[in-house]
Structure 1
């Protein structure tokens, strides 16, 4: 019963309310909203950046997955960790990092004497920059998806090909890639969906030059016209959700067929001995990581250490004043750090309890009801965050029935949206851990008369606590830097870090925005390191960078 309540509350009600508002005037009214020049233009831009960034993500992600999984490259875990770190960093922070790196005011380019002339347009603003940053940001999604496919390929198949004299290059081309075809298609669909629903990167790099995608169009329409245009916003939200859900459903169907076909008793291990080429390959991979991940972050750090954006970094100009300003003195940022910490922490703690109960129930359901229940749980995470925000506004803009209290324009609406958004993320590791438990232990407790609450608290929780804690950290990590949902749900006094960062950048306070971004990135790094410390107590591949590096694989 509890599981049904959670699913109805966090999935069915928001999505159902969105659909009712979108079709309030029937199909004719829905089409009238959609059939507008600005919507078609934004749709075209959305498809262009989703396809372009998806192609780049496929190229980069596939290369990384193969290098880390099949070659004897060293420090694979460190490379995978940095790769996933770039994904876990908020999209708007990645966009800001590239924006500060390549503009004429770039402190790093000025330090190297390579800065463009003042007044030169920033090449990151517009379609090219959005595609580049979004492609690099989503490349780890491709790599993680392909890593799961590589893990399912039987090792004896590769060993047989090698014994027959096949070169590693031939094994990759003739065996691995054909077997990975469903996973490649799945990865392509996932990055397309992620690109179509991304708000942070187009907001940072597109809105300043008038390049509008569907998520940013939705943001502008609601910000300009307020709650009065909510039905129009709902119609556009359904269009975005339809694009996203079509991709997610197709990806799920392809992946289900692939996992049914490939079952590995012996996990794939690196078989491509690089020999004398290993230093060259390692230099190339680390150089790429440095240029696409570390250098933009270094630019962000440099921007935060100068008194104003555009000042040349030197020992004379070096200052930590921006950090003192955003962490201790400026009301907006201090409040944003507090709000994000409380909202993310509250969501993580309550979802720990909810997922423990949910996983216990799901683990005992038959396959078909379990699949349906998890699909409904995953729905609010599958749709773009800005669509979920519109659904929450529609659901709570009027006072709640019976009690007559409205949570609209309060922190509670953001908290509700975070629960709906990250429910599936918190549930996955707990469900995986629950599947490994020995049923005899709980059956013995039932025979002794122990109730459900006692069993969950004293038997199940101690056994699955590492997975519960990992889920909590993952939820906190994602919610702490979240922008897409809170961009439409915040009100005066409830600003989150994502909102504060966007506001500072819009106000021309680039150094302060960079200081906020660096502080948030350090928080993400600390949480990922804490999760790494738990790695040995978690189910296999529970951490994405462990799955990408190939836990248990031999590295020479």
Structure 2
């Protein structure tokens, strides 16, 4: 369990970072200086000024990370299944591939539970954001607001160590393993070979998988850009009830885990009309 938590944590914390970093840069430096001049400590300034203004982005990133962890299949499947640790995503998959008389019924129930948890998370996000303060400037401030001084070497060393342990070393290990003739051999020059790459890259199934992945990602990105831009433009230009309802409808697929949405599509379009199976 701790391994799953650790790997999910290092996989999803960049989402919170990407959501938060620009908002922190937009918070006016003058507000921090005014608070300090008025006698506020650095902690009180952070708690009463910086954190409330950055809360929308932190909560938004946290909710995306929550959904990503809730719907994650790969990490629990690789680390949890061998240790007999079931999660909803892997359990739904096991029910579906069982093809029993009640497999899809059970998968539908589990999907409703998973979707309910996701929607509850969306409701909690709304509760946290309804009274949040908005950032009062759009200017990005890239200059440092706190000088580490003598602590810089220690802080930077700890950060580099963290990135090395969580990202650099595992990637190097995987790269070296891909060149080994067989798993378990020592990392010695005589044990390295390009035969693994030759076998994989000359396999028709591998080439098909690569092109299919690229095609799916590209087409999905184009559709997302077109549809998302149109809705965003209409939302800014118009604020009538129809647009607000459309905005709410957009957040439903975003709030539902991908596996739940996929199963819902299967159930809805498997045979909506007798004899028609789109």
Whether 1:361 and 2:203 are equivalent positions in the alignment is: no
Counterpart secondary structure, 2:252: helix
The equivalent residue for 2:96 is 222
The equivalent residue for 2:208 is 335
CA distance in 1, matches of 2:144, 2:68: 30
CA distance in 2, matches of 1:255, 1:333: 45
Alignment equivalent of 2:45, drawn from 155, 166, 175: 175
Whether 1:263 and 2:136 are equivalent positions in the alignment is: yes
CA distance in 1, matches of 2:264, 2:149: 56
Counterpart contact for 1:187–1:251, Cα < 8 Å: no
The alpha-carbon deviation at position 246 of structure 1 amounts to: 1.0
Alignment equivalent of 1:141, drawn from 4, 15, 28: 15
The alpha-carbon deviation at position 378 of structure 1 amounts to: 2.7
The equivalent residue for 1:232 is 106
Q: Deviations over 1:305-352 (max 9, x none)?
A: 1122222222111122222222222x4322211221222222233444
Counterpart contact for 2:22–2:140, Cα < 8 Å: no
The alpha-carbon deviation at position 210 of structure 1 amounts to: 1.5
CA distance in 2, matches of 1:141, 1:371: 26
The equivalent residue for 1:26 is none
The alpha-carbon deviation at position 397 of structure 1 amounts to: 1.8
CA distance in 2, matches of 1:364, 1:189: 27
The alpha-carbon deviation at position 371 of structure 1 amounts to: 3.8
Distance 1:385 1:202, change over 3 A: same
The alpha-carbon deviation at position 214 of structure 1 amounts to: 0.8
Counterpart contact for 2:95–2:104, Cα < 8 Å: no
The alpha-carbon deviation at position 265 of structure 1 amounts to: 5.9
The unaligned stretches of length 5 or more in structure 2 are: none
TM-score of the two chains, using structure 1 as the length reference: 0.45
Counterpart contact for 2:119–2:256, Cα < 8 Å: yes
The equivalent residue for 2:219 is 346
Counterpart secondary structure, 2:82: helix
Output aligned runs, 1:59-208, within 5 Å: 127-163=1-37, 170-171=41-42, 173-179=43-49, 180=51, 182-183=55-56, 188-208=62-82
Counterpart contact for 1:241–1:383, Cα < 8 Å: yes
CA distance in 1, matches of 2:241, 2:210: 42
Instruction: Give the paired residue count.
Output: 273
The alpha-carbon deviation at position 223 of structure 1 amounts to: 0.9
Structural RMSD (CA): 2.8
Alignment equivalent of 1:392, drawn from 265, 270, 274: 265
The equivalent residue for 2:124 is 250
CA distance in 1, matches of 2:225, 2:19: 26
The alpha-carbon deviation at position 187 of structure 1 amounts to: 5.1
CA distance in 2, matches of 1:188, 1:371: 24
CA distance in 1, matches of 2:109, 2:251: 21
Counterpart secondary structure, 2:132: helix
Counterpart secondary structure, 1:208: coil
The alpha-carbon deviation at position 156 of structure 1 amounts to: 0.8
Counterpart contact for 1:190–1:247, Cα < 8 Å: no
Alignment equivalent of 2:252, drawn from 358, 369, 379: 379
Output aligned runs, 1:401-480, within 5 Å: 401=273, 406-407=277-278
Q: Deviations over 1:374-428 (max 9, x none)?
A: 2312321221111111112112222x659x6534xxxxxxxxxxxxxxxxxxxxx
Alignment equivalent of 1:320, drawn from 190, 194, 216: 194
The alpha-carbon deviation at position 226 of structure 1 amounts to: 5.6
Whether 1:307 and 2:176 are equivalent positions in the alignment is: no
Distance 1:256 1:288, change over 3 A: same
Counterpart secondary structure, 2:191: coil
Distance 1:129 1:147, change over 3 A: same
Distance 1:159 1:212, change over 3 A: same
Q: Deviations over 1:110-169 (max 9, x none)?
A: xxxxxxxxxxxxxxxxx1210110111111122234335424533211122455687xxx
Distance 1:229 1:250, change over 3 A: same
Distance 1:148 1:250, change over 3 A: farther
| Runs of at least 4 residues off by over 6 Å | none
Q: Deviations over 1:84-120 (max 9, x none)?
A: xxxxxxxxxxxxxxxxxxxxxxxxxxxxxxxxxxxxx
Counterpart contact for 1:193–1:243, Cα < 8 Å: no
Structure number with the bigger relative contact order (C-alpha 8 A, sep ≥ 6) is 1
CA distance in 2, matches of 1:363, 1:374: 11
Greater shift, 361-370 or 384-393, is seen at 361-370
Distance 1:197 1:351, change over 3 A: closer
The equivalent residue for 2:146 is 272
